[in-house]
Amino acid sequence: MSRSEPILNIAVVGHTNAGKTSLLRTLLQSREFGEVDQRPSTTRSVLEQGVWLGATQVMSFFDTPGLESGSDLYAEIETYGDQFRHDGPAQIKHLLASAQADTVYAQEAKVLRQLLQSDAAFYVIDCRDPVLPKYQDELHVLARCGKPLLPVLNFTAVKGHRQSDWQAALAKLNLHAVVAFDTVTPPEGGEKQLLQSLGVVLPAAQPVLERLVERRQKEREERRQRGFKTIAELLVDVAAMRHKVPLELSEDALEGEVLALQERVRQREHAAVQDLLARFAFLPDDAAFEHVDIGSGQWHDDLFASETLKTWSKDTGFGVGAGAAAGAGIDLLVGGMSLGLAAALGAAAGGLYQSWRHFGEKLKQRMQGERELGVDAATLATIAGRQLYLLEQLSRRGHAANDAVTVAVTVAKEHRLSRDEFRQIDKLLRPLIQDQPSCDKQRIIDALTSYLVQINSRPLAASC
């Protein structure tokens, strides 16, 4: 963009609690922009936020207070008809010069002043509401500013919305370029449609808006690609967590070692979750991992709960209890999976993961008084499945959402890895688990990243 091209000034206007700030949070990809609350008139002043392409600012959004007195304002402006017939902007300026602009209509005056100074406006509509006269009056008043209005229908993903009613009402006001854009769960391609529709009402801005669309799409693809790499790095680090312990270790001491390893894995997964949240510009508490304790009916958050491991790893054929630390998610034999788990995989029959020679080495080390703690396949399958689910949800999530993404066992059936998928992941991780001297950790991360992209090759949700 050349320096001669002006910055686009776009006002975001609408009735109180229609979702103006929520729209900007999603467009700006910022959970911390403005304040979102169910109470009316949360935004009391005009807030500006720039949009940049590289080092050049191309747009400014202006979040405005909610309109509350649309019908009274419409009746007041109607009295100016004889004095400023067919001159809507003059009517608005006359109102803004009056004493009422600082008293009765102080909040509405802030909106109208900003709209007069802007190139266009998004008029945000909560389409759960019926089409009421006060909203129609608001639109008539805003239209008199002489600036293009692009209606944005919010909350279209909510059951019982009135999208068709609103579209019919807007058509009667000659507003046909309407965009349905749920700020909490944006539709696939929603941002692209929104910016392209803005280009329709502002033809001169189409080139810069197209460049912005392309840039946003590239950024989304890069974030998602980096997300897969974050998951690959997590799996590699967890698979490499091998800790030798004496064979004669007491039961209590062994339990302590298992608990310590479990905590290391939890912390590493937590770090990966925080990396994904930060990469998608969400807050640290915007994700929660939960499972239900069938006995107590209580929700918990624990990777190593037996119900969690069973649910996320069932289809892989690994199950819980295949290793020597049954139900703990930890393998107690040296060099990789336990003999019982290897047999379940068919390794003894087909040699898919490790050879009889390697089993012989394990038994030799065991006889020499050595054994090793390491994460079992059920745990790796669980981590991979729920991290991929989290990545998918963050990719499609709007930044107006206030509730956390919940990764519960109820979603495991559709999102856990298949047996064949995990076999390939295990094959890639095998050199780490066997602690092979020639193991190239970065090469494994790259190969695993590519495979995760391959098995999750779906259209980007909420993308440009």
Q: What is the pLDDT of residue 254?
A: 80
Q: What is the pLDDT of residue 320?
A: 42
Q: Do both 253 and 283 map to the same domain?
A: yes
Q: What is the pLDDT of residue 17?
A: 86
In the block, residue with structure tokens 């929660």? 288
What is the C-alpha separation between 15 and 349, in angstroms, rounded?
A: 69
Prediction pTM value? 0.80
What is the C-alpha separation between 50 and 7, in angstroms, rounded?
A: 9
Asked if residue 420 has pLDDT above 70, the reply is yes
Q: Do both 128 and 175 map to the same domain?
A: yes
Q: Structural domain tally of the chain?
A: 2
DSSP H or E stretch at residue 393: helix 377-396
Task: Determine the average pLDDT of the residues in 71-94.
Answer: 88
CB atoms under 10 Å from CB of 436, counted, come to: 11
Task: Determine the average pLDDT of the residues in 281-310.
Answer: 69
DSSP letter assigned to residue 397: -
Least confident of 30-34, 60-64, 169-173: 30-34
What is the C-alpha separation between 205 and 6, in angstroms, rounded?
A: 9
Domain residue limits at 384:
221-455
Q: Which pair of tokens denotes residue 33?
A: 């922009």
What is the C-alpha separation between 21 and 33, in angstroms, rounded?
A: 8
DSSP H or E stretch at residue 407: strand 405-407
Q: What is the pLDDT of residue 296?
A: 47
**Domain presence at residue 296:** yes
Q: Do both 290 and 340 map to the same domain?
A: yes
Q: Do both 179 and 245 map to the same domain?
A: no
Q: Do both 35 and 178 map to the same domain?
A: yes
Check if the beta carbon of residue 27 is closer than 8 Å to that of residue 192.
no
Tens digit of each residue's pLDDT (9 = 90 or more) over 36-61: 444 444 456 898 999 988 889 999 99
Using pLDDT thresholds of 50, 70 and 90, give the confidence band for residue 461: very low
**Domain presence at residue 96:** yes
**Domain presence at residue 137:** yes
**Domain presence at residue 207:** no
What is the C-alpha separation between 198 and 204, in angstroms, rounded?
A: 10
Which CATH number do you get for residue 132?
3.40.50.300
Check if the beta carbon of residue 456 is closer than 8 Å to that of residue 387.
no
Asked if residue 159 has pLDDT above 50, the reply is yes
